[in-house]
Chain A
Amino acid sequence: MDDLLSEFLTETNENLDVADSELVKFEQDPNNAEILNNIFRLVHTIKGTCGFIGLPRLATLTHAAETLMDRFREGMAVTPEAVSLVLTTIDRVKEILAAIEANEGQEPEGSDEDLISQLETLAAGGTLVDDPFDDLALQEEPAAEPEVAETAEAEPEEELDELERLFRETEVEPPKPMPPLATARADAEAKPVPAAEPKPAPVAEAKPAAAKEQAEPAAKAARAAAAAGAEEHHQAQSNVSSQSIRVSVETLENLMTTVSELVLTRNQLMEIARRSEDADYKVSLQRLTTVTGELQEAVMRTRMQPIGNAWQKLPRIVRDLARELGKTIELEMTGADTELDRQVLDLIKDPLTHMIRNSADHGLEMPADRRAKGKSEKGMIRLSAYHEGGHIVIEIADDGRGLDIERIKAKAIENGLTTEADVAKLTDAQIYRFIFAAGFSTAAKVTSVSGRGVGMDVVRSNIELIGGSVEVRSKPGEGSTFLIKIPLTLAIVPALIVAAAGERFAIPQLSVVELVRIQANSEHTIERLKGANVLRLRDKLLPIFPLADLLNVGRQTETNLEDSFIAVIQVGSQTFGIVVDAVFHTEEIVVKPMTSRLRHISMFSGSTILGDGRVIMIIDPNGIAQSAATTIDVGQANAAAQTEAANDDEAEAVSLLLFRAGTKEPKAVPLSLITRLEEIEHDRIEHSNGQAMVQYRGTLIPLVFAHESTKEREEGTFPVLIFSDDNRSAGLVVDEIVDIVEDHLDVQLPSEEPGALGAAIIHGQATAVLDVGHFLSIAFKDWFARSKEASTAPRGELVLVDDSTFFRNLIKPVLEGVGYDVKGFAAAADAIEYLRSGTDVDVVVSDIDMPEIDGFEFAEVIRGELGHRDLPIIAVSGGTCTPQSLERARAAGFTDYIAKFDRAGLIAALTEFDRHVRGEAA
């Protein structure tokens, strides 16, 4: 394809886009002569150039459109129908252009007679069949229509053109406007071949006006004058554009690469300068640094384009959509001149278009519905762009119905993205995020516009691809807002250089929210919940991931965790921490794409060369977020982690959850008893029969308030401790979670207060230790009773020996719950006495570490002295379950050995014995 043609194609496509949006504006403001002139000029230019290049089909089509446009200029009423026709014509022109591009410059076969005849009919003042609006419009404004226009035919118009052309040929052309190259050439070459002369862009419309007057009625004079004014305005603009030149993108890319190299070299020199004392060298380097910085900025600016370029097609799209959907939609755009890198711009064009379509189709209601809700019939879509820090934020807001959270939930479950159980604990923001999942569409019916379930996932991945993020906010009945955050440029980004497992990595600073230093005894500490690590940062629990683990390098030992840095990363609505060994500095890094052989590693977005010449990998926060699970499941941790927990009141430390409820002093509950921590919004709390409930994981669970005053709070969210047992859960609502501590649980004062086991000194402060059983029995008036019924029958008598009142109180209700008649003893001696008395005991549960007679001795006595050979004796121990201790317990005569906090295990063991006994009896 020759240069001229490709030039023409690029330029014409640009012009058409402008014409598109101008036409939509014009439809809304038909009296604006300036807009009309703009459009006319654009179509005119295209027509002229087509004739020149030898594209007769295009020339004929655009000529017909131009004729109609000229009628408008003469004052013919503008109807939506006419605008639609012109828009359709523009679409046809685009199709032909695309075909020309594909066919290496040949116009495709085909006829545009259909469009041309319609255009001519309208231009002749006629109406298209089946359009009632046009008639109306004509009747409304008959006065505004000069008689000439009505009688004018295409023929005289053509003659007019001819006249104008001849007139121009004799004129010396004034400086050329917009398409500088094409028209300039056109002029130069056109003169010897008058028949093929294109219409040069009608710069000097005012001048030929004089000539026109001979052929035209005087009525046109006034209009010509008006046009002259508009032309002058245009002239000013076009002078600016004639000072710019077209540079191929490739040239700019090469320039950018070269500058990137320069930046790298500068960085390397600076690294050397740090070790050098040479003052002269440093001064020169300083200068080089400044110049490099300026150059970098200048080159970046050449790549910058106003975001409005990506928006150009939107008004047209919205207009067409509105007509198709039968809605009235206004698109308001602000910040169109916000600039960003063209590479980024190209990548967001499609996602943006898609989101606008979505807002128009799903977001906005039908006019009738809007009226019913007391809103204006006209739906608003606001598109705005602005700079914020090193990135650009694009907002797409509609004032429609908002996202339907229930439908998203249902759909998410239907699509297997989540389960009934899990969806209940998700926040609204998390639920909204499902709309970005692949194949997700909540549109009840598939329209031609949307509802096919492709798109939002592509939108998200496109945006994330360029290091951006997308977020949704929505209010039922008030509309939804999509927030897209994208980096200004992809080429050079500020990054944080960190070290993990002896290697350095760069984390783009854009996604780093803060840095946290972790040291022994520092205010932020890391909790281990089973395999997962959690950072307690202010009032939040953040999942944290050692970078070395994520990348599967090195071995992060626990001691490293105690002295490390955590980069808190935010990706969309996900926040998490990455644990690194060291943080060096921030550096402007030049992003180099990963080699094709390594591009599949989602953890990296690229690589870069540091000042010292080393190549390092750039961490991709999105990749990390994907591999990072976010749920914090406290419960899973129990069985394993808590075997270490204490039994002995004096010596062993227990993990305790400290919280506040009502009073100022903290209250404590052993962490091991808690399955989960949840935040529940006040609104989600329901009441039934005076009992507070909440929907949790698909079922209703009862809530108990740890203090009366908590109940009175009317809003906000409550931390809730979830206790689960045997598939049943209950929640204890508290005011605030304070801390998780390891301390000796030494209940010193018994408590009179119901619900408290007593007071203990925890971390130097008097703390009420709560009796979970008490609250559970309030929650489920039948918590224990029910399970008693559920179990087949009373299981007989159980002797429970534990010197710790706390644990006796803890285990007793559980055992009673499964049907045992529990006799509790604080000392083994008392229990021996009781057993000796000849009562029919069915099972013994005993602690190991006890003063005076310990568990082993106790078991030996039962087996030996008391002669109970078959009586099941279960050891519950706070110590770790080592093979040695197990061995020793077996030798002493214990039937089973269970970790103290493993209630489920204890019950399972008891049930096993029970079945065994019954089986024998039968």
Chain B
Amino acid sequence: MSNTTLEVLTSDRQFVTARIAGKLFGLPIEAVHEVFSPEGITLVPLSPSEIEGVLNLRGRIVTMINLRRVLGLEDRSEETRMAIGLEDRNETFGLIIDEVGEVLTLDTGAHEPPPSNLDKRWADIVSGVHRLSGELLLILDVKRVLGGIATAEAA
């Protein structure tokens, strides 16, 4: 994976974990600006379906991306949800997930490429898989999550 080669120098990296539909995902800690509870989301008519809306986070307008929709999963509306704040070229985005887990330090050398039979929507944004004891952690490529929305717009 080309984007992991950049970080080869230090093999230990920290990942913020997030759970979506029972699956565990990891985001590189450098990419994560904050974790917040997505409240007061304003729907944006005519927007791509992955974009749930926008919200005001301490005076900044944050574009909220529903990761369940990106992954082709059903919305879960009732239960409490969380959001992970990301920055991309001076714009703030929020990834809506089910719940946030602990921060894990993982050896990037142990990353494996995602299985070739992974659903395309998943494979598009998962850069690797890490075997934890008991379950798999899917490494999210934040740039590709945000980039995927941009290309959806161009199409």
Choose from A264, A597, A613 the contact partner of B48 (Cβ within 8 Å): A597
Q: Does B42 contact A (CB under 8 A)?
A: yes
- Stretch in contact with the other chain, from A58-66, A614-622, A776-784: A614-622
Residue of A nearest to B39 (CB): A613
Query: Knowing A597-B149, A598-B51 touch, does A609 contact B59 (C-beta < 8 A)?
Result: yes
Residues of A within 8 A of B89 (CB): 596
A603 contacts B61, CB within 8 Å?
no
Interface centre among B45, B46, B47, B150 (most CB of A within 10 A): B45
B46 contacts A552, CB within 8 Å?
yes
Choose from A261, A596, A616 the contact partner of B150 (Cβ within 8 Å): A596
Residues of A within 8 A of B48 (CB): 597
A811 to B40, CA, bound (A): 61
Q: Does B110 contact A (CB under 8 A)?
A: no
Choose from A551, A597, A616 the contact partner of B51 (Cβ within 8 Å): A597
A372 to B67, CA, bound (A): 73
Q: Does A144 contact B (CB under 8 A)?
A: no
Query: Knowing A596-B150, A597-B63, A615-B61 touch, does A552 contact B54 (C-beta < 8 A)?
Result: no
Indicate with 1 or 0, residue by residue over B29-47, a CB within 8 angstroms of chain A CB atoms: 0000000000010111111
A613 contacts B40, CB within 8 Å?
yes
Q: Does A724 contact B (CB under 8 A)?
A: no
For A, the interface residue count at a CB cutoff of 8 angstroms equals 23
A265 to B56, CA, bound (A): 12
A270 to B153, CA, bound (A): 38
Residues of A within 8 A of B63 (CB): 595, 597-598
B42 contacts A617, CB within 8 Å?
yes
Residues of B within 8 A of A617 (CB): 42, 44-45
A597 to B61, CA, bound (A): 13
Q: Does A918 contact B (CB under 8 A)?
A: no
Q: Does A592 contact B (CB under 8 A)?
A: yes
CB distance from B37 to the nearest CB of A (A): 14
Residues of B within 8 A of A679 (CB): none
Indicate with 1 or 0, residue by residue over A585-602, a CB within 8 angstroms of chain B CB atoms: 000000010011110110
CB distance from A609 to the nearest CB of B (A): 5
Residues of A within 8 A of B59 (CB): 261, 264-265, 609
A595 contacts B43, CB within 8 Å?
no
- Number of A-B pairs, beta carbon distance below 8 Å: 63
B149 contacts A615, CB within 8 Å?
no
B40 contacts A592, CB within 8 Å?
no
A615 contacts B150, CB within 8 Å?
no
Categorize the interface residue count of chain B: 20 to 34
Residues of B within 8 A of A503 (CB): 42-43, 45
A764 to B55, CA, bound (A): 55
Residue of A nearest to B43 (CB): A503
Interface residues of A in 231-281 (CB under 8 A from B): 261, 264-265
Residues of B within 8 A of A265 (CB): 59
A552 to B45, CA, bound (A): 7
B45 contacts A553, CB within 8 Å?
yes
Q: Does A12 contact B (CB under 8 A)?
A: no
Query: Knowing A503-B42, A613-B40, A614-B40 touch, does A595 contact B61 (C-beta < 8 A)?
Result: yes
The binding surface of chain B is classed by DSSP as mixed
B61 contacts A592, CB within 8 Å?
yes
A264 to B60, CA, bound (A): 11
Interface centre among B46, B51, B150 (most CB of A within 10 A): B46
Q: Does B91 contact A (CB under 8 A)?
A: yes
Choose from A261, A553, A596 the contact partner of B91 (Cβ within 8 Å): A596
A609 contacts B56, CB within 8 Å?
yes
B54 contacts A615, CB within 8 Å?
yes
Interface residues of B in 38-95 (CB under 8 A from A): 40, 42-48, 51, 54-56, 59, 61, 63, 89, 91, 93
Q: Does A647 contact B (CB under 8 A)?
A: no
A553 to B46, CA, bound (A): 8
B46 contacts A595, CB within 8 Å?
no
Query: Knowing A609-B56, A614-B56, A615-B55 touch, does A598 contact B61 (C-beta < 8 A)?
Result: no
B47 contacts A615, CB within 8 Å?
no
Q: Does A607 contact B (CB under 8 A)?
A: yes
CB distance from B106 to the nearest CB of A (A): 30
CB distance from B71 to the nearest CB of A (A): 17
Residue of A nearest to B146 (CB): A597
A596 to B92, CA, bound (A): 11
A553 contacts B43, CB within 8 Å?
yes
Interface centre among A261, A552, A617 (most CB of B within 10 A): A617
A551 to B45, CA, bound (A): 6
Interface residues of B in 121-155 (CB under 8 A from A): 146, 149-150, 153
Residues of A within 8 A of B43 (CB): 503, 553
A553 to B42, CA, bound (A): 13
Residues of A within 8 A of B54 (CB): 595, 598, 607, 615
Residue of B nearest to A608 (CB): B61
Residue of B nearest to A592 (CB): B61
A728 to B146, CA, bound (A): 58
Interface residues of A in 544-566 (CB under 8 A from B): 551-553
B47 contacts A598, CB within 8 Å?
yes
Q: Which 10 A-B pairs have the closest CB atoms?
A: A551-B45, A595-B63, A615-B42, A615-B54, A553-B45, A601-B46, A597-B149, A609-B56, A615-B56, A600-B153
Instruction: Taking A615-B56, A615-B61, A616-B42 as given, write out 14 further A-B residue pairs in contact, using a Cβ cutoff of 8 Å, ordered by the A residue number.
Output: A261-B59, A264-B59, A595-B91, A597-B47, A597-B153, A598-B44, A598-B47, A598-B63, A598-B153, A601-B44, A613-B56, A614-B56, A617-B42, A617-B45
Q: Which residues of A contact B (CB under 8 A)?
A: 261, 264-265, 503, 551-553, 592, 595-598, 600-601, 603-604, 607, 609, 613-617
Q: Give 15 pairs: A residue, B residue, CB < 8 Å, sorted on A.
A: A503-B42, A503-B43, A552-B46, A595-B91, A597-B146, A598-B44, A598-B51, A601-B45, A603-B45, A614-B40, A615-B40, A615-B42, A615-B54, A615-B56, A616-B42
